[in-house]
Structure 1
Amino acid sequence: MEGVGTLALAALVWVGVHVGIAGTAVRRAAVARLGENGFRIGFSVLSVAAIFFLVRSYGASGTTVLWTAPEWLRWLLALVMLAAFVLFAASVSAPNPTMAGGERALGGEARGVQRITRHPMLWSFALWAAVHMLGNGDTASLLFFGAFGVTALAGMPSIDAKVAAREPEAWSRFAARTSILPFGAIAAGRNRLDLAELGWKPWAIGLALWAVLLAFHRTLFGVPAVLPG
C-alpha cells in the first residue's frame, strides 16, 4: 500500500523522539551540552517536525480496513472520549507535580484529579488514541494513533522518574498517595474519591468540547464521530 512505509517510519520517529530522548541518557547528555533552555528549544523544534511528518504521512497513506466497529461500540467509545475530555480539562484546571509548573503541588495533599491519577493529561491522550484505533479499525489509524498512545503511556513512568530524581522526599510522599493507573490508589486504600474537589469547570469544559466534536467531527475531519457515513 502506497505511503504505509512512510507512515510507519513517521510513527517510529515520533515515538523515538519522545521515548528515546525524553527522560533518557540522551536527554541528560544534550542538557549537559546545550543547557536546559537550549535542550527545550531543540526538543520543541524536533517535536514539531516529527508531528508534522506524522500527520502529513497519515494523510497521504493508503490503508486496509481490518474491522468495522458496530454502532453500539462507537457510542461506547464516544462516552470514553467524554471521560478523556474531562480528564484533559481537569489536568489544566489545577497544578499537578507531573506537569510543568506544578512542583508546588508536591508538598500538599493529593486532591481533585490527583486522587484518580497523577497523569490526567497523558491518560486523556491515551484514551483518545485507543478510541480512534478501535473505532477506525484500519492499518493507518493503528500506526498513527498508536504512536500517540505509546508515547502517552511510556511518558508516565518517565515523568515520574524525572520528578522523583529532582525531589526524592516530596515525591515519595506524593507517590504513596497517588497512582499512575486511574483509581489505583483509591482501590488500594491509599486515597479516596472526592469528585466535588474537581469543581464544575472540568465537567463543563469537558462536556462542551465533547459536544462540539460530536457535532462537528465530520466537518472538521471528514468522518462522523459515531454514526456511519
Structure 2
Amino acid sequence: MGALIAGVLLWSIVHLTKSITPGLRSVIRQRLGAGPHQGLVALLVLGSVGLMIYGWRSAIPEFVYDAPGWGRHLNMLLMLIAIYLFGVAQGKSRIKQIIRHPMLTGMFLWALGHVLANGDSRSVVLFGGLGLWALISIFTVSRNEGTWIKPEEVPSLGREALSVVIAIVLYGLLFASHRWFAGVPLVG
C-alpha cells in the first residue's frame, strides 16, 4: 500500500506545485532551464504512475465500507461523462460554456464513480486521493486564472455529436478491456 500512497502523493505534489506555489516552480525552471525542467516533471509524473500501478497490483485490498448497490451503475454513467470531458478538454466544445475545467472535472467524476463502486482500501487511496487532487486543482487553478472568460467560439452541432460518438466508442473499448489493464473485470 505504501507504493500506492507514494504514487498518489507524488502525482498530486508535482501537479499542484504549479497552482499552489507558482513561484517555486518558476525558480526551479530558471535554475534547471526550460527543457530539463519539463523533463524532470515528465519523469516525476511517469514515476508516480509507475508507483500507482505497482502499488495497486501489489496491495492486498481490505474492506473499508460497503459500496452502495447503485454505485456500480452510477460509476458506469460517470465514466462515459468523464471520457467525454477528457476528450473535449483540449478542443472546442459547448460544454466549455458550462464547465471551466472539463479535464479536471472529468478526473473528479472518474474518481467519484470508482469510490462509489468500490469499498476496498486500495480504491479509497487511489480514487479518493486522485479525486481530492482534482477538486483542489479546480479551485487553485481557477484562483490563479482569475475571472472566467468563457470561450466565444463554439463548435458546430456535428462536431459536438462526433465528440459524443468518439466518447461512446472509447467507453466501449475501455469497458471491454478493463479486466486486462486494471486487473478487475466489470462483468462476469
The Cα of 1:60 is off from its aligned counterpart by 0.9
Unaligned segments of structure 2, at least 5 residues: none
Q: 2:160 aligns with which of 168, 184, 199?
A: 199
CA shift in 2, pair 1:220/1:49, >3 Å = closer
CA shift in 2, pair 1:195/1:137, >3 Å = farther
The Cα of 1:122 is off from its aligned counterpart by 1.2
CA shift in 2, pair 1:218/1:195, >3 Å = farther
Normalising by structure 2, we get a TM-score of 0.82
Query: Residues of 1 paired with 2:38 and 2:145: CA distance?
Result: 16
The Cα of 1:70 is off from its aligned counterpart by 4.7
Q: 1:69 aligns with which of 60, 67, 70?
A: 67
Which residue is equivalent to 1:100?
A: none
Please identify, of 64-73 and 132-141, the stretch whose mean Cα deviation from structure 2 is larger: 64-73
Query: Residues of 1 paired with 2:123 and 2:81: CA distance?
Result: 21
Q: 1:14 aligns with which of 11, 17, 25?
A: 11
Q: Which amino acid in the other structure matches residue 60 of structure 1? A: S
The Cα of 1:74 is off from its aligned counterpart by 1.1
Query: Residues of 2 paired with 1:9 and 1:61: CA distance?
Result: 13
The Cα of 1:30 is off from its aligned counterpart by 0.8
Unaligned segments of structure 1, at least 5 residues: 95-110, 165-171, 179-193
Please identify, of 203-212 and 71-80, the stretch whose mean Cα deviation from structure 2 is larger: 71-80
Q: 2:98 aligns with which of 113, 116, 120?
A: 116
Query: Residues of 1 paired with 2:97 and 2:122: CA distance?
Result: 36
SS of equivalent to 1:22: helix
| CA RMSD, 1 decimal | 2.7
Query: Residues of 2 paired with 1:201 and 1:84: CA distance?
Result: 16
The Cα of 1:139 is off from its aligned counterpart by 0.8
Q: Percent identity?
A: 29
SS of equivalent to 1:200: helix
Query: Residues of 2 paired with 1:221 and 1:159: CA distance?
Result: 30
The Cα of 1:176 is off from its aligned counterpart by 5.2
SS of equivalent to 2:33: helix
Contact 1:58 1:140 in 2 (8 A): yes
1:18-38 deviations in whole A, cap 9, x for unaligned?
Answer: 22x223132122123223333
Contact 2:6 2:51 in 1 (8 A): no
Normalising by structure 1, we get a TM-score of 0.69
Q: 1:54 aligns with which of 52, 77, 84?
A: 52
- Give 1 or 2 for the bigger CA radius of gyration: 1
Asked whether 1:31 is paired with 2:29, we answer yes
SS of equivalent to 1:62: coil
Which residue is equivalent to 1:211?
A: 172
Query: Residues of 1 paired with 2:67 and 2:185: CA distance?
Result: 13
SS of equivalent to 1:85: helix
Query: Residues of 2 paired with 1:201 and 1:63: CA distance?
Result: 39
Q: Matched residue pairs, number?
A: 184
